[in-house]
Amino acid sequence: MDRKSVVAIVSAFVLLASAASALAQKSFAIAMHGEPALSADFAQFSYVNPDAPKGGRVNYAWPGTFDSINPFIVQGSGARGSVDLLFGNNVFDTLMMRSADEPFTLYPLLAESIETDDARSYAEFTLDARAKFSDGEPVTADDVIFTVNLLRDKGLPRYAVTADKIAKVEKVGERGVRFEFKQPDRELPLILGLLPILPEHAIDADTFDKSTLTPMIGSGPYRLVEVKPGDSVTFRRNPDYWAKDIPSKRGFDNYDEIRLTYYRDENVLFEAFKKGLIDVFMDENSGRWANQYDFPAVAAGDIIKEEITTQMPSGMFGIVMNTRRNTLSDIKLRQALTSLFDFEWVNRSLFSGVYTRTRSFFDNSELASAGRPASAGELALLAPFPDVVTPDILANGWQPPTSDGSGRDRAFLREGFAKLKEAGYLLVDGKMVDGTGKPLSLEVMLKGGENQQIAMAFQQTLRKLGIDLVIRSVDAAQFLQRQIEYDFDLMFFRYTSSLSPGIEQTSRWGSEVHDKPGTYNYAGVANPAIDAMLDEILNARERPQFIDAVRVLDRMLLSGAYIIPLYYRPNQWVAHWAQIERPDVTPIQGAQFPTWWHREAKP
């Protein structure tokens, strides 16, 4: 082979290596869209106090009970606090740490870096050499592989769903683990980054799926030191926690001890808080929040009552209309029913006026279409589907009709009646009937007594227009079965949301799950335009492109009138005793209890 040929071959290899290097992206952090907000030399997250004092004990509480401390399995009711979105990942560290001030971005924790390609067809994590479990043993690549296989075979179903997307997992070098995916998936590297890692040397895989009250070894900042079955769990800070000084954990884990007590009755729980047995109380009851904080400790300033602002999407709490039913397949009827929920009266009469009307599946966030004209990017996405979004929703999002809150607003009823006429219905002898003379009658299914007051208020409004709404209350087992089989007309449901909606949206609105029992597509949505927008959401690379796609999906769903939007809380309701303090900065995802501290602790 002559010199010229050798040079050509070498040059080709160099080009190939350069191309491979360009495709592979190794980084200290990863964002779902765009780039991480922080640089590689960041000192700590913006929403922590890096000088927070360490010490003291915090007392949390939770309604209900527990009979297991294993949070990863189906069997038993697992105690909270070991791996917990609210109280913190106290016992088990994850591969990477999620920032609460970005939509979906991960920073180093057990893994010091992540590598993937532009298509995200694989993810390779390199573990921090300092990472160790609470018994002093190092966290290894073998532990990561063991965890994936164990949770796939013995864990909650969601772990198997994730594992099923992985074609191969293998050890790379001394501290690397590489996951190759069955097909490119932009979200999967981040989902894997949030995987809690378990110690292979300290777990009996054969019995892992059985309930237990024996504390487990983890790599997190706390050890579970006391379990009182059904009553409480106590965590004590590990003074040798390996990650206490790394940037992503600075300002976290400030208490020496965390106690989480269970109360079977929420009223008893609240009384315990009033007496000082509980330090922090996140309230979900509108009536209590508005009317029951007039006791001495609040007046004296010993208890601080806060409404903490977040920028998190509201999600959608609403009344699902099953379009598989012949009557509800008519979009004009669904639009008419949507216009007849008297939110102002319900909010004033039942909830002391504390709620906000939901106008978007992603209200309270940048993802919402409410109050916004469609952008140029949205219009481009909508170009192939000119009739899917109504002109009014295209121009300004969905704007619900409003009443005067009296429950007797004739103008509000006239507007709803006009929409019913557009749908082909007439009022005959006090009954709303279709073109054949058949009375309009619908059934709303309730689980036990849940949402009964709201259902009765809606029933009362519809009755004024001659519509018969039957309220059917069933037990939990029957409710679940009818849910699975889509055997209902109307049903209350809460669709949660985040700032990074993803694959879960396909199980809610995708055509391919329309006929499959047991999905979340309760409304029976089957629309090619919506399917196309779901693909746009899943494949978006940059945040602006992603926001446009989500807003278009929002407009399409609202135009289709599949759900009667109800209400949400724009703030978190948190009361706490004054000795518990928090950072001045609140991130976009709201209160972060693991960053709070005890005032009497030492710096």
Q: Which pLDDT value is given to residue 77?
A: 85
How far lies 9's CA from each of 4, 5, 20, 289, in Å?
Answer: 9, 6, 16, 74
Helix axes 452-463, 343-350, angle to 10 degrees: 140
- With cut-offs at 50, 70 and 90, classify the pLDDT of residue 13: very low
Q: Which pLDDT value is given to residue 506?
A: 94
Q: What is the mean pLDDT of the chain?
A: 94
- With cut-offs at 50, 70 and 90, classify the pLDDT of residue 85: confident
Task: Report residue 16 as tokens.
Answer: 């190939």
421-477 pLDDT per residue, tens: 999 999 999 999 999 999 999 999 999 989 999 999 999 999 999 999 999 999 989
315-355 pLDDT per residue, tens: 999 999 999 999 999 999 999 999 999 999 999 999 989 99
Is residue 98 predicted with pLDDT exceeding 80?
Answer: yes
Q: Which pLDDT value is given to residue 4?
A: 56
- Rounded CA separation 296/503 (Å): 48
Helix (H) or strand (E) holding 260: strand 257-263
Q: Which pLDDT value is given to residue 602?
A: 67
- Transcribe 476-500 into DSSP letters: HHHHHHHHHHT--SEEEEEE---SS
- Altogether, the residues listed in the chain come to a count of 603
Q: Quick one: CA torsion of 37, 39, 43, 48, rounded to 10 degrees?
A: 0
Nearest CA to 593 out of 220, 110, 258 is that of: 258
**Mean pLDDT across 189-213:** 96
Q: Which pLDDT value is given to residue 16?
A: 42
- With cut-offs at 50, 70 and 90, classify the pLDDT of residue 15: very low
Is 412 in contact with 404 (CB distance < 8 Å)? yes
The DSSP letter of residue 600 is T
437-450 pLDDT per residue, tens: 999 999 999 999 89
Q: How many CB atoms lie within 10 A of CB 19?
A: 10
What does residue 469 show for φ and ψ, rounded to 5 degrees? -110, 115
Q: How many CB atoms lie within 10 A of CB 163?
A: 17
> In the beta sheet, which residues pair with residue 443?
470
- Transcribe 85-127 into DSSP letters: TTT---S--BSEEE-TTSSSEEEESSEEEEEEETT--EEEEEE
**CA 317, 323, 326: angle at the middle one, nearest 5?**
145
**Mean pLDDT across 72-76:** 90
Q: Which pLDDT value is given to residue 6?
A: 45
147-179 pLDDT per residue, tens: 999 999 999 998 999 999 999 999 999 999 999
573-601 pLDDT per residue, tens: 999 999 999 999 999 999 999 999 999 87
Is 54 in contact with 602 (CB distance < 8 Å)? yes
Query: What does the buried/exposed string (b/e) look like for 323-349 if buried means 16 or more CB atoms within 10 Å of the residue's CB?
Result: bbbebbebbebbbbbbbbbbbbbbbee
The residues, ordered by sequence, that sit 6+ positions from 532 with a Cβ below 8 Å of its Cβ are: 384, 385
C-alpha 544, offset from chain centre: 21
The residues, ordered by sequence, that sit 6+ positions from 413 with a Cβ below 8 Å of its Cβ are: 340, 461, 464, 465
- Rounded CA separation 350/352 (Å): 6
Helix axes 410-422, 331-338, angle to 10 degrees: 180
Q: Quick one: CA torsion of 582, 583, 588, 589, rounded to 10 degrees?
A: -30
- With cut-offs at 50, 70 and 90, classify the pLDDT of residue 22: very low
Nearest CA to 399 out of 363, 370, 365 is that of: 370
The DSSP letter of residue 602 is B
Tokens 């010229």 belong to which residue?
4
- Rounded CA separation 549/518 (Å): 27
What does residue 341 show for φ and ψ, rounded to 5 degrees? -85, 115
- Rounded CA separation 398/417 (Å): 19
Is 530 in contact with 562 (CB distance < 8 Å)? no
What does residue 107 show for φ and ψ, rounded to 5 degrees? -125, 170
Q: Which pLDDT value is given to residue 17?
A: 41
C-alpha 145, offset from chain centre: 27
Q: Which pLDDT value is given to residue 595?
A: 98
Is 414 strand, coil or helix?
Answer: helix
**Mean pLDDT across 537-552:** 96
Compute the half-sphere exposure of residue 502: CA atoms within 13 Å on the CB side of its CA.
Answer: 18
**Fold of the 316-568 domain:** Dipeptide-binding Protein; domain 3 (3.10.105)
Is 304 in contact with 390 (CB distance < 8 Å)? no
Q: Which pLDDT value is given to residue 570?
A: 87
Is residue 369 exposed (0-12), middle (13-18) or buried (19+ Cβ within 10 Å)? buried
23-36 pLDDT per residue, tens: 678 999 999 999 99
Q: Which pLDDT value is given to residue 2?
A: 55
Query: What does the buried/exposed string (b/e) look like for 355-365 if buried means 16 or more CB atoms within 10 Å of the residue's CB?
Result: bebbbbbbbbb
The structural domains of the chain, with segments of one domain joined by +, span 316-568
How far lies 518's CA from each of 64, 378, 514, in Å?
Answer: 27, 32, 10
Is residue 9 predicted with pLDDT exceeding 50?
Answer: no
Choice among 2-6, 105-109, 490-494 with the minimum mean pLDDT: 2-6
Q: How many CB atoms lie within 10 A of CB 547?
A: 23
359-408 pLDDT per residue, tens: 999 999 999 999 999 999 999 999 999 999 999 999 999 999 999 999 99
Q: Which pLDDT value is given to residue 144?
A: 98
| For the chain, percent of residues with pLDDT exceeding 70 | 96
Is residue 99 predicted with pLDDT exceeding 80?
Answer: yes
Choice among 17-21, 149-153, 218-222, 594-598 with the minimum mean pLDDT: 17-21
- Rounded CA separation 119/180 (Å): 12
Q: Quick one: CA torsion of 585, 587, 593, 596, rounded to 10 degrees?
A: -20
Q: Which pLDDT value is given to residue 406?
A: 94
